[in-house]
Structure 1
Amino acid sequence: MIGIRAAGAYVPRLRLQRSSIAAAHAWFAPGLKALSGGERAMANWDEDAITMAVEAARDALHGRERDLVRKVILASTSHPFQDRLNAGVVKEALNLPDGVAALDIGGSQRAGTSALLEALESARAFDGDVLLLGAEKRRTQPGSELELTHGDAAAAFVIGQDELAAEFVGGHSLTIDFVDHFRSEGQDFDYVWESRWLREEGYAKIAPRALKEALARHGLAGADVSRFIMAAPQKGAAAMIAGAAGISASAVADDLAQQMGGAGAIQPLILLARALEDADAGELITVVGFGQGCDVLFFRATGSSAVAGLGVSGWLARRTPEANYVRYLTLAGHLAIDRGMRAEFDQKTPLAALYRNRKAVMGLVGGRCAKTGVVQFPKTAISVAQNARAQDTQEDYPLADRLARIVTHTADGLTYSPDPPCYYGAIEFEGGGRLTVEYADVEPGRIEVGAPVRMMFRVRAHDETRGFIKYFWKAVPDYRAAIPATLAAE
């Protein structure tokens, strides 16, 4: 059988309060007040679809052997690069072997579910696992409804043939060029058609047709469905579609709109990852992805746990409310503030050097002397052990997943940072090795020497002249200690 072996997710820490957005636009669009309840997940300036996908992948792979991964698929409609393999960057950050296939999937409102179908098909051909990732950081026009209803997030699944948490029962797809919103080449924001068109033609006709055909194709009935997952932004749409196919309203899953918003094409993956946190054996889970047609997938839960990391619930619990709408506009790139002269320096990346040092820069792989046990970053040809004269004794020593503690810290308000002050200092890893790093996700006054930190893959800087993004690892407060103990359990 083919199916899901493990699931993971990532939701950014910051949660923009929708009431702040509505209040800022009340002078022009008072109707937005109707959407002002709850909050939306807000990626910081140093987070994008790649960095979020990396964190979701680490969550899904928690405690698992990464050498079993044979292919990486990254689904998104907000890939940072148009002709650099985004999934390839993720592969490097995860320190996967070079003999791994990689694929980007985008250009579709149902990129998430279509990528899941592709991953399931690929798993049949590989003697190993397929790592499916979905991540979205869409730009939304200030003052639009999407600005309030969207949220940034990522999901990840390990697809394989053994020790399954959910068996793949089957799938079905319709492809119809039904356009309710779109974003053309060179445009920053989606153009959205009227909601009635989407409701009466898309949700009332296309989606029920696809769902009914899928049930019939696999000999299933609506009453068999235990959980119905569909990311339909319109209130009541998912229940309407489920009812048209004979699925109970009680089976319709919470869309998490109030807690994080909708992550566009990959929201069905987020909801599936959430369902697998507590699905009982035998439950039939139905996943629907809508956009220019419809994907329908059926999974049968086995009762085995799919989540060894934090999962959707854990990341949702790690939250910091943000009510400063101007800060959001600035970090999202909508507001061009005067950044000062300290921001005026070239961020050109020597691509040859990046390639040669990609294990250290992208994968945070250091060296450990096989004779003395001394850990060094970056890896060097000469041992740094005291009084040792050993050469070429260092073996690869990954540091990204090791807990570390703060040795020194500084909050620098003079150095340019898109989100000042810039926090940086020295950390020491458990097992050895010191590194000077930037700190991220830090609360003012809540950073101290000796505090535990974990590493996260983040944007280091933007080369605005050439459009290149520089990635590296930053230290963040131990997020497993920042959420309820029941969710943080290993």
Structure 2
Amino acid sequence: MVGITSFRAYIPPYRLSRGDIARVWSTRSLGGNRAVAKYDEDSLTMAVEAVIGCTSRSRRQPDGLFFATTTGPYQEKQASSLVAAAADLSREIRTSDFSGSLRAGSIAIHAAADAISSNSANSILVACADCRMGKAKSPFEQIFGEGAVALAIGREDVLATIEGSCSISSELLDVWRADGDSFVRSWEERFAVGEGYLKIMERVISRVMGEHGLEPKAFSKAVLYGPDGRSHALLAKRLGFETSQVQDTLFNEIGNTGTAALPLMIVAALEEANPGDLILAANYGDGGDALILKATEDIRACRQERGIRSLIGKKIPITYERYMNWKGMVPVHEISRPPSPPHSLTCLWRESRAVMALYGSRCLRCGVPQYPAQRVCAECRSKDQIEEYRFSDKKGRISAFTVDHLTTNLESPAVVGVVDFEGGGRLMCEVTDCEPHEIKVGMPVEMCFRKIGMHGGVHRYFWKARPAQQ
């Protein structure tokens, strides 16, 4: 049977209190916090984080990578190929972007399952991530959150089989973002929820249950997408699900994460599932998707170190002013520095494995790794006796650092450190997710893929160090 064989979520540790937002604008707080991606994160970097975690668990190369997002870095350029390159996936895979709808994640899951069912692929990774923005003072500013998730769909070592599915399409303009818009727009809430969300979700869920002869009581968990907490609770009640059956939307802890919302809830449900449990998952956006999942015996072994609850528990509070700066919502003074030189795209192509996947070299004679790759070994001086060596998955320690108060980053000061990797090799790079007063010589770190800027319409990415996760 086709199903989910591996999964991994990523939630940024930074939290903005909805109470702080309400105090700034003298509005009502929805309670709880929303997850906020740092200024050097976007949908693509978060997807890379989730994909790397997912592939490290499954230990097999997929035949394809589908990336679902409404906030990709480019309008005309495939983002999934960038994710695949950063995650060091094989070039002999199928990559595809799914966008334009909040259902993009569930549509990608359907497409992956169909490809495997037709024997055109054995395993496909589905990555979902979003960084949607609402205008200041709008309800969306409190509702939205940011996060990512990766699901591996395949036939072997299945954790949850896909027992059934269905989809419907609906043309209704309720929530949208036109080309060039930074913020999500919406129509009147009662119309959007009453004529759109509730009717479509009831229809698709009733249809999938009817086709398989199931009633609400048959499901251990009902994983239902909801634009907000109130609408979600109303839908569950109208469908006849008990409160204990309804999967937490994670709204109070991280917010509505767009295309990643339903897959994140599926992961949370699977982390607590028992063999034989039936799980109903339903998504909304220009129509509806519904899936019926059944947990297998292998689900017992799937208790991850970095599960949803663990990620939610890692909170770093930020101020509203810091949030606005990270998101570029207010013009701020920039340090007078010479403009960055244009990036050579030819050079980037030539050094793509070094930049995107952090490949260096290792001497075949003495075994010393180096970054960037060198023809001549700095240790034994042998020439052209090297092999490729990846540093992105290696841990290390800070051997030296500096605090730069003249940085052109959105935040000053920036921390630049020298990382000595376990097994050898050294790299000087930025240190992120760490306040300047927290960094120390000897601090254990790991590498993470982050955005370092934009020049001439080209998004620039590279690897940074961050404090090692426990």
Per the shorter chain, which TM-score range?
Answer: over 0.9
1:18 positional shift: 1.2
Q: Is the 8 A contact 2:51 2:150 kept in 1?
A: yes
**Residues of 1 paired with 2:460 and 2:303: CA distance?**
31
Structure 2 unaligned segments of length 5 or more: list them: none
Instruction: Determine if the alignment matches structure 1 residue 320 to structure 2 residue 316.
Output: yes
Residue equivalent to 1:183 = 177
Secondary structure of the residue aligned to 1:12 is coil
TM-score by length of 1: 0.92
- 1:84-233 matches, within 5 Å, as 84-124=77-117, 125-233=119-227
Instruction: Determine if the alignment matches structure 1 residue 80 to structure 2 residue 73.
Output: yes
Structure 1 unaligned segments of length 5 or more: list them: 481-490
1:203 positional shift: 3.5
| Residue type at the aligned position of 1:4 | I
**Residues of 2 paired with 1:211 and 1:288: CA distance?**
7
**Residues of 1 paired with 2:347 and 2:193: CA distance?**
52
1:259-309 per-position Cα deviation (integer Å, ceiling 9, x unaligned): 111101220011111111121111111111111111001110114244545
1:94-114 per-position Cα deviation (integer Å, ceiling 9, x unaligned): 111111110000001211111
Instruction: Determine if the alignment matches structure 1 residue 21 to structure 2 residue 30.
Output: no
**Residues of 2 paired with 1:396 and 1:65: CA distance?**
20
Residue equivalent to 2:440 = 448
**Residues of 1 paired with 2:93 and 2:229: CA distance?**
41
- 1:181-330 matches, within 5 Å, as 181-303=175-297, 304=299, 305-306=301-302, 308=304, 310-322=306-318, 324-330=319-325
- 1:464-479 matches, within 5 Å, as 466-479=456-469
1:149 positional shift: 0.9
**Residues of 2 paired with 1:107 and 1:277: CA distance?**
29
Pick aligned residue for 2:389 from 397, 400, 403: 397
1:60-80 per-position Cα deviation (integer Å, ceiling 9, x unaligned): 2234324x2110110000001
1:166 positional shift: 0.5
Instruction: Determine if the alignment matches structure 1 residue 335 to structure 2 residue 330.
Output: yes
Q: Is the 8 A contact 2:132 2:146 kept in 1?
A: yes
1:131-152 per-position Cα deviation (integer Å, ceiling 9, x unaligned): 1100001122111110111001
**Residues of 2 paired with 1:306 and 1:453: CA distance?**
26
| Residue type at the aligned position of 1:95 | D
Q: Is the 8 A contact 2:228 2:256 kept in 1?
A: no
Secondary structure of the residue aligned to 1:346 is coil
Residue equivalent to 1:406 = 398
| Residue type at the aligned position of 1:87 | S
1:325 positional shift: 1.3
Secondary structure of the residue aligned to 1:479 is coil
Pick aligned residue for 1:423 from 384, 390, 415: 415
Secondary structure of the residue aligned to 2:441 is coil
**Residues of 2 paired with 1:25 and 1:252: CA distance?**
33
1:467 positional shift: 1.6
Q: Is the 8 A contact 1:59 1:308 kept in 2?
A: no
**Residues of 2 paired with 1:309 and 1:110: CA distance?**
28
- 1:434-445 matches, within 5 Å, as 434-445=426-437
**Residues of 2 paired with 1:47 and 1:115: CA distance?**
23
Equivalent residue pairs, number: 467
Q: Is the 8 A contact 2:453 2:459 kept in 1?
A: yes
Secondary structure of the residue aligned to 2:460 is strand
Residues 372, 315 of structure 1: alpha-carbon distance in 2 compared, 3 angstrom cutoff: same
Cα-Cα RMSD: 1.5
Q: Is the 8 A contact 1:285 1:300 kept in 2?
A: yes
**Residues of 2 paired with 1:123 and 1:449: CA distance?**
49
**Residues of 1 paired with 2:12 and 2:228: CA distance?**
24
TM-score by length of 2: 0.96
1:435 positional shift: 0.5
Report percent identity of matched pairs: 33
Pick aligned residue for 1:432 from 424, 433, 436: 424
1:478 positional shift: 0.8
Secondary structure of the residue aligned to 1:15 is strand
Residue equivalent to 2:360 = 366
**Residues of 2 paired with 1:400 and 1:411: CA distance?**
23
| Residue type at the aligned position of 1:429 | F
| Residue type at the aligned position of 1:319 | K
**Residues of 2 paired with 1:22 and 1:277: CA distance?**
33
Instruction: Determine if the alignment matches structure 1 residue 38 to structure 2 residue 43.
Output: no
**Residues of 1 paired with 2:183 and 2:212: CA distance?**
39
1:337-382 per-position Cα deviation (integer Å, ceiling 9, x unaligned): 111202x413521101001101010001111112210101111222
**Residues of 1 paired with 2:410 and 2:180: CA distance?**
25
| Residue type at the aligned position of 2:377 | S
| Residue type at the aligned position of 2:19 | S
Q: Is the 8 A contact 1:113 1:289 kept in 2?
A: yes
